Structure 1
Amino acid sequence: MSLSIGVETKIDAEPCVVAWNNKLFIGTDTGSIFSFESNLSPGASWKAHDVQLFALSANDGKVYSASNDGGIRIWTSEGDKISELPAPDADIESIHVHGKYVYAGDEGGNIYVFENNNLIAKYNVLEEVKDIAISPPFMFTARDLNVTVTEIKPEESKSRFATRHVMEGRAPLRISGSRLVVTARGGNNIQLHDMDVATNFKKLDEVKVSDMIITSMSLRDSVVWTGGWDGCAKRWKIHGDKLQPAGEINLGACINALVAVNGDNAYALLTGGKIIYINTA
């Protein structure tokens, strides 16, 4: 199956992080957030932070951003500031919204859990949190050596947790139903794991994605999208216990981030400011 370039646009900044919630939201090295409609026609843009954005998420009409100039800032999709969630211990590097909770991980290994803009729980997984994935009651966190599986129940305890498993792997990582997809330690492969604690989250498959480092991963409709330093966007289908190649395209520049709209379409952010919509033929 081939991939092709659809519409594209360019911004006068370096795009760093991306989120999708019926609109495309892009965080840049200048601290600004740009929004786009699905056809990449520009929407609102605003100065969210004084310096580069480290994390961005969007859900239910809200945009969550973080840098090293404060806690998590919450915006409407038009750029109006709603609130700010203080997280003073260290810089926030990852934000994940799941259900009614907002999870944030910092470089000191702290995980903050917010509900209705209030801090309701805090845990520490002992290493920098570059990515978070949630499948209650399990939380998956990663830096660049290991993935830690932690059982948490924020509705019951603000600080108590149990480490259920540790496996080799690094950020980024994503969940699809009963499967977990993790970047391998070397940064070139992706691994498919069973999501069952009874099997110790058994590794089911591993495929090589690139000779260079993977920078981004997105997962929709049992399809994994990957991109990295080599400029290649690739698509992989989860078929039972296997990852099957399902198309690739060389975009000609380092992919800073990508996000899938569905299994067939994704947006890629390229170094230099180009934003590309990718179609599946």
Structure 2
Amino acid sequence: FWKQERIYIIIMKVSVEADNKDKHEFDVNFLLYAKEKLYSAADDGKIKVWTPDLKLLGEVQAHPCSVFSLAASEDTLYSSSNDGTVKAWSLDDLKEKKTLLNEPNFEFWRVAWNNGYLYVGDDQGNIRVYNNEEYYGIMNIAEPVKDMAVDGHILFTANLDIIVTDVKLQGKNLQSINRINICGKAPITLAGNTLCFTNREGRDIIVHEKDDDKKWKELAQLKGAHELIINTLAGGFRDGKVHLFSGGWDKNVKAWIIQNNKIENKGSCDVGFTVNALVLGDDGIVYAAGENGNMVQIDAK
């Protein structure tokens, strides 16, 4: 990052592209960065693992069809698919550990891991919860789980609404309380003390407080953040600022700073393909992936 007086600019450029021979055959749906490795999941049913500079380390034919989502604990990678399964893999070498779920009548669109609990969201609005890979309970939020994020005992899900659920993780039985529904849609991401998502049309960015005491109130909204639909958001907190990155059908990855109840554009990078997935790496690196297996490393400093 370059800082001069009150000016804050993020210089964005593609620094590395995945080699054509190593890429996924079809669209990439999800990226995960864990323990200095990048994991990708795609419509070819494969999970691939990469070095931070996009050198292929290994791959596995995880599912016979699309892999929609990945999540990681300290030593295990979880994958979900439209084949009705959720599987567990060794985070180190992608060796299969077990099939956690096998329900052919469901498509499992999202998995998320937090503090020993695995959350599995499906196309019928169910969220199954596992405690250390043991089934703990199920709840239904009445709409498909297109995207999901977890912060402690608060679960955020999204499809055509942002649903905030308080999940009770004590006792033998799972209990949950719906706290609020917010007008918006997937994708969502948690960035610093904020909850970020898009409007129903998918081109505006909306930011709310990520705080129960503050009733998740709206902080900012930016109309026309992208010319076309936003497919993915990724955010974090660094240098005392909330950073947000967005990407979608217009083939641009954009950088934003959220401060003083405003969403400020700080940079943009044309990657040349429709962006389906973003994830933050180390030291100002952003990874983008999507159409036809394309994957790039972006310097955002």
User: How much has 1:157 moved relative to structure 2?
Assistant: 5.7
Counterparts of 1:117-132 in structure 2, within 5 Å, are 117-132=133-148
Alignment correspondent of 2:293: 273
- Note if 1:20 corresponds to 2:33: yes
2:12 is the alignment partner of 1:3: yes
User: What amino acid sits opposite 1:99 in the alignment?
Assistant: N
Which residue of 232, 250, 269 corresponds with 1:230?
250
Amino acid at match of 2:88: I
Residue of structure 2 in register with 1:258 after alignment:
278
- Whether 2:210 is the aligned partner of 1:195: answer yes
Residue number in structure 1 paired with 2:3 = none
The more displaced of 257-266 and 100-109 is 257-266
Code of the residue aligned with 2:177 in structure 1: it is A
- Residue 126 of structure 2 is matched in structure 1 by 110
**Does the C-alpha gap of structure 1 residues 236 and 29 become closer, same or farther in structure 2, counting only changes over 3 Å?**
same
Corresponding residue for 1:70? Answer: 84
TM-aligned CA deviation for residue 194 of structure 1: 1.2
User: Which secondary structure does the structure 2 equivalent of 1:212 belong to?
Assistant: coil
SS at 2:59 equivalent? strand
**Contact map agreement 2:157 2:164 (CA 8 A) in 1:** yes
Residue type of the partner of 2:169?
Answer: P
Shift of 1:28: 1.8
Task: State the Cα RMSD in Å.
Answer: 1.7
* Closer/same/farther in 2, CA of residues 244 and 45 from structure 1, 3 Å limit: same
CA distance in 1, matches of 2:110, 2:163: 15
What is the aligned partner in structure 2 of residue 183 from structure 1? 198
Q: Does the 8 Å CA contact 1:121/1:154 hold for their aligned counterparts?
A: no
Q: 1:231·1:252 contact (CA, 8 Å) conserved in 2?
A: yes
Instruction: Give unpaired runs (5+ residues) of structure 2.
Output: 1-8
Write out per-residue CA displacement over residues 71-129 of structure 1, whole angstroms, 9 at most, x where no aligned residue: 21011131201122116362110111112111110011111111111111211101101
Question: 1:150: how far off?
Answer: 1.1
- Unaligned stretches of 5+ residues in structure 1: none
How many aligned positions are there?
Answer: 280
Residue 124 of structure 2 contacts residue 145 of structure 2 at CA under 8 Å; is this kept in 1?
A: yes
Judge conservation of contact 1:121–1:157 (CA < 8 Å) in 2. Answer: no
> Alpha-carbon deviations, 1:235-273, whole Å to 9, x = none?
112224322212111112211211111572111113122
> 1:272 is paired with a residue of what secondary structure?
helix
In 2, the alpha carbon distance for the partners of 1:33 and 1:158 equals 33
Cα contact 1:223–1:263 (8 A) shared by 2: no
1:57 corresponds to 2:71: yes
Contact 2:153 / 2:168 at 8 angstroms: preserved in 1? yes
Q: 1:82 aligns with which of 90, 97, 107?
A: 97
In 2 relative to 1, CA 12–102 (structure 1 residues): closer, same or farther, beyond 3 Å?
closer
- The residue correspondences of 1:123-202 to structure 2 (distance < 5 A) are 123-143=139-159, 145-156=160-171, 158-202=173-217
CA distance in 2, matches of 1:55, 1:168: 24
1:147–1:166 contact (8 Å) kept in structure 2: yes
- Is 1:217 the equivalent of 2:226? no
Q: Secondary structure at the match of 2:292?
A: coil
Is the Cα contact below 8 Å between 2:273 and 2:294 reproduced in 1?
A: no
Structure 2 CA distance for aligned equivalents of residues 101 and 113 of structure 1: 7
Alpha carbons 2:106, 2:124 under 8 Å: kept: yes
TM-superposition CA deviations, 1:173-221 (whole Å, max 9, x none): 1123421112211111111101233443111101132121111111122
Partners of 1:12 and 1:159 lie apart in 2 by 38
Change (3 A) 1:136 1:79: closer
Q: Does 1:41 align with 2:55?
A: yes
The 1:224/1:30 distance shift into structure 2, 3 A limit, reads same
1:91 equivalent in alignment to 2:107: yes
With normalisation by structure 1, the TM-score equals 0.93
